[in-house]
Amino acid sequence: MLVKNVINQIQRGIAGQWTQAILAGEVWHIVPTCVGLPLELSLYSTGLIHAAVNVGVNMSPSLSGSFKPLQFFDANVQLHADINPSIYTHTVAMMGINTQYFKSGLEFHAKFRANIPMKFYAKINMKDKSLKQLRATRKLS
């Protein structure tokens, strides 16, 4: 019964997403100058990784009420998946004088975002043990 419940859940579709924030790097260096003021050089980089997945499965013939696991091995399975991974990074570079009485400097910001949505369709014949990719598409944005 557990196997039938799992297969029915997969046929209804599975969707999920995952997000992870990261501190990619932090570099900080202070150099004394001939004037006596500290010159600060720093670089910070943070990022965010995100992935969203939506998977659906169609089986023919569909599972009967009196399910036996051997029925699964005689089925034709159509699989479709929408996968959408993306990454975002933000980098800050700073150079300047940083004392307790005054702060002065230059700050540079760089941002990068990549999103690569993919769609995948396949047909699996369990009886013949064959996998045929019907279509796979990918768009860069």
pLDDT over 60 (residue 141):
no
- Could you tell me the sign of the dihedral formed by the alpha carbons of 8, 11, 13, 14, in that order? positive
Mean pLDDT of 4-21: 84
CATH number at residue 115: 2.20.80.10
61-100 confidence digits (pLDDT tens)? 776 667 676 777 778 888 888 999 999 999 999 999 988 8
103-120 confidence digits (pLDDT tens)? 899 999 999 999 999 888
Q: Tokens 């598409």 map to which residue?
A: 137
pLDDT over 70 (residue 138):
no
Distances (CA, A) of 85 to 15, 76, 133, 134, 138: 14, 29, 21, 22, 11
pTM score of the predicted model: 0.66
What domain range is 94 assigned to? 2-138
Q: Pick the range with the lowest mean pLDDT from 36-50, 52-66, 100-114.
A: 52-66
When divided into structural domains, the chain yields a total of 1
